[in-house]
Structure formats: structure tokens, C-alpha cells
Amino acid sequence: MTYRAATSEYEFILKTLIGFEEAAATDRFSEATPDLVAAILGEAGRLCDEVMAPLQRGGDTDGARLENGVVRTSPGFADGWKAISDGGWVGMNANPDHGGMGLPLSVATAVNEMMAGACLSLQLAPLMSQGQIEALEAHASDAIKELYLPKLISGEWTGTMNLTEPQAGSDVGALTSKATDNGDGTYAVTGQKIFISWGDNDFAENVVHLVLARLPDGVLGTKGISLFVVPKYIPDDTGKPGKANDLKVVSLEHKMGLHGSPTCVMQYDGATGWLVGREHGGMAAMFTMMNNARLGVGGQGIGTAEGAFQHALEYALERKQGRTASGAIVDHADVRRMLMEMKADVFAARAIMLANAHAIDMSHATQDGDWATRAAFLTPITKTFGTEVGMRVSETGVQVYGGMGFIEESGAAQYYRDVRVTAIYEGTNGIQSMDLVGRKMMDGGEMAGRLLDEIEELAEQGRGANPKMTDALWNACEALRDATDWMVSQDMSDRFAGSLAYLRAFARVLGGYYHLKAAQADPGGSREKLARFYMARMLPEYAAHLAAATAGSDGLFALSIDELAG
């Protein structure tokens, strides 16, 4: 199967839909000219097409393994990592003071998404390092920055984050890992962490772990947690990897997918670490990493959906069956329906993701709190909708293949197996939706209302050319506005009961907004045709979602535990 990075789509969305020129007009991103962005996307596309995509199947069939305590990565992954690091792709939006490119996050997000479509297992490695780079830039001491950031940005060293423990999944505050002061500026970190993506590898000089642990005087819960940088090899006086630290990979998880990405159980036995940020401020530092990681995970879902769509389309064009104009199944109505839904959903999710990244860029470039609030509101939508699109599109891809989709050799099932975890990690999608209707609506729904105002303004402007589409979008906005008013007037139990449905409805409407903008930029063209399909067949899902969103919590607990089990 041939993968092609969707570089023209990224350029269209950045230029036409999300107002990227706003970021390029700021002092911080003034060098991000259209020509430079196009060149970067083109080079990244070639990396994905020629280097990463050929590693996709081998990473699944010949996955990472643990041999005598040493992680062995899939064949070709070391060369793939070298191409990524040599190209500077790890430090795309990192600070140039330490060797980064200083690119807007929106451009880096586009590149990360195309990498996910090419080979998700390998793409996880630079994504982990990027998150750590951001956390260290924001919270680490100057000494730690000077030592670790150049190595992480260059790809000589790789980074991880260690949150989860066997007894503390989403409830991070229940962790039991501990740290004690060694009296020399270092700490002894002890505990076990699970589900650590790329916890080790055989191609980097060093692996740097960010580990959450509790100091002796740390209170219970998240407020008593501190963050430590704990390297696999302790740097010597020259900054080179020295003696082995007191940590090890206990085992690799046997997973449904992502076989090429080693997911480790890590054991720390008094390992030497350095405090990042202030004592007991670990969660604030880690959330710097996690918030953008949630944007990145949404992109992983979208990238996987793009790969699954291309894979399914190629098969549908080649598979001969039945009487159609071409003789191929692509001309069967139901197969065409599936392909159209896949394409329309990928476009909608990608536009939301890049708009989210653009808001983060603008918040950093302007220090305008309105942009930061917009970015915060869009983040749980990007993560949840992006990963759900990844699951839905990859599952549909199996269906396009028919019986062959259930046969591993076709490669269709890998996309679904690989992407399924994205709805779970970096905060499950249920947690994301509760965050949306809880913390992100502490403003009484003001940001939600402002987004709806913008959508209705666009619909109003386009009534003359596309009355059917604009009316559909306007009506959806009004219904969503009513549901938002209902949400902010309820207690949290009722909000949470309908939170995922509400988020899905909001994503459907935002998707309609970007499809309409695309249609207006391409009257009579393929984008308008795709928008008409979305508005007629996919946007109406919002009504069912809003009915569930405003149903309250009583029905969820109507059955007793015995009745539920019976």
C-alpha cells in the first residue's frame, strides 16, 4: 500500500480556513512565510512517504521486544529515528536557543499528523520527546535546560513521561512512587510506573524520564506530587551519558496494537533524579506537557484515519466485484458512502485540530488570554473527536475490505488496532468530555457562545449562495446554544452524564463550520461537493447527540447493581 502525506490539505486549511497569516504576522512567527511552510510540509511529506510509511507493516509483524533487559526495536526503526532526528523534526516548535526550529505549533501539528498516518508506532517516539521538551522549557532550572534540551531536540536523547501506576490510572493523585532528598541537589526516586510509551530503545544515547513522585512531606492527592527528571544514564561532568541509573524495564506490555512502540513497565529503585519546577508542583509542570500531548493524540487519531482511508480507497479502486461502471467496488453505493464519510470526517477533524493549534500559537505570540481560553476549550474536542474519527474511519476501512479486512495480511485491521488506545491515553475521552462541560465551562458557557456566534455569522454571510447548507448549520448552532444553556444551569452529575454526547455534537457543528468555509472557497468544486455531503448526512447527528446530552443522569442509575448484573 502506498501512503501519501496530505500536504496540500494542510496548506489549504492553514491558509484558507484558520487564518494562519495572523500567526505569521506576529514577531514570534514572522519567519513562517507561506513559502517556508510549504517547503517544510513538502520535506516532511517526503520523509513520511519514503522513510516512515515503509516501516508501518514491519513494526506490527516484528514488534519491539525485551531481551535480557534490553529493548530491541523493530527492524528499520533505528534508521527511521535517525532520519527524523537528522531532519530536525523532533524540535520543530522548540526554542531556537537550544537548537529548535521555533516553528508555529500549527505547522508542527500538521507534520506530526502526517507522521502518524505513515507509521504511528514510530511517530510516538518524537511526540514523547516533544512533550518533555516543552515541560522542561517551561519549568526546569537553567542548568537542566542547558544540559538536556539540546540533546532532546537533536534526537541524540529521547524523552518519556511517567505518570501511571498499577493502582493509579486516571487518578494520578493515588500514586505511591516516592522521592527523598539526597542532600546534594539530587533525589532518590523509587516506584513502579506502567504504560510508559517508548520507555526504552536501542538507538538513542540516553533515555530521559519525567517521573511523578511524592516527597516525604507531600500531602495526599495531586497537590503533593513533584516532578523529577530521571535519566537512564547519569550524565558525567562533560554532559555525556555516564553510569547506569538505578532503573530498569521490567517488561513490555502485550498490546492490541502499536507493536512497534515499546510500552514499558518501569522500575525505579532509588534512581537519581533532579527536581523540575517547585516542590509539590509536579502536576502543573506535567500538565504543560499533557495539554499539548492531547492535541498531539488527537492528531494521531486523524493521521491514522488518513492512512486507513487511503488504504481502503486503493483497495476499492482495485477490487473487482459486481456490476458497476468501472467494475470495481468503489462504484457500489454503500462503498462510496463509506469512503465519503471517511473523507468528510478526516477533513472536519483535521480543521478543528489545526484551529486548536493556531489558537495556542496566537496565545503564545500575543499573550492574549482570549486565545488561551479558545485553545483550552478546543483541546478536549480535538482529542476526543480526533481519536473517535481515527477509530471510526479505521473500522470503516475494515468494512470496505469486506472479508479481507478481517485477514491480517491485508493490513486494514492494523489501523484499528493501533489507533484504539488513543481514546484511552492522555486522559480518556470520557474525562475529556467532563473537562469540557466542567472546567472549560466555568465561564458560564461564554467561550462556547462566542464560537457559536462565529459559526452563525459565517452561515449568515453564505445564505445567498448555499441556503440549504447555511440553514442546516444555523439550526444546528441554535440547538447547540440551547443545550449549552442547559448544561451550565445543571449540577455536575447531570452535566457529566451528557458530556460526551455534548462534545460530539459540538464537534459535528464545528466540522460543519469548516466544511462550509471550504465550500465558500471552492464554489462548485470538490470541497463544496464534500461539504454538501457532510451537511446532509453527517451534521444531522448533532440532534441525537443533544437529546442524550440533555437527558440528565437519572437514567444512568435506574438499574441497581443486581439488576445490571442480571
| Catalytic residue numbers, as ranges | 426
Residues with Cβ within 8 Å of residue 261, at least 6 apart in sequence: 59, 64, 120, 121, 122, 124, 125, 197, 198
Angle at 368 between CA 354 and CA 296, to 5 degrees: 30
Instruction: Identify the helix (H) or strand (E) that includes residue 321.
Output: none
- Do residues 166 and 251 lie in contact, with contact meaning Cβ atoms separated by under 8 Å? no
Query: In sequence order, what DSSP letters do the residues of 155-208 get, joined into one string?
Result: TSEEEEEE--BTTBSS-GGG---EEEE-SSS-EEEEEEEEEEET---SSSSEEE
- Report residue 204: phi and psi, to 5°: -100, 150
Q: Is 233 helix (H, G, I), strand (E, B) or coil?
A: strand
Reported in sequence order, the residue ranges of 262-382 that DSSP labels E, i.e. its strands, are 263-276
Asked if residue 242 lies in contact with residue 235, where contact means CB atoms within 8 angstroms, the answer is: yes
3-class DSSP string for 245-297: CCEEEEEECCCCCCCCCCEEEEEEEEEEEEEECCCCCHHHHHHHHHHHHHHHH
- Lookup: cell for 223: 497537590
Contact predicate 72/202, CB 8 Å:
yes
Q: How far apart are CA 223 and CA 279, in angstroms?
A: 10
Cβ 291 vs Cβ 379: under 8 Å = yes
- List Cβ neighbours of 531 (8 Å cut-off, separation of 6 or more): 469, 515, 516, 518, 519
Residue with cell 514499558: 264
For residue 549, the number of C-alpha atoms closer than 13 Å in the C-beta half-sphere is: 28
Give the whole-angstrom CA distance, residue 203 versus residue 372.
37
Report the DSSP beta bridge partners of residue 208: 159, 231
What's the length of the chain? 566
Other C-beta atoms closer than 10 Å to the C-beta of 127 total 23
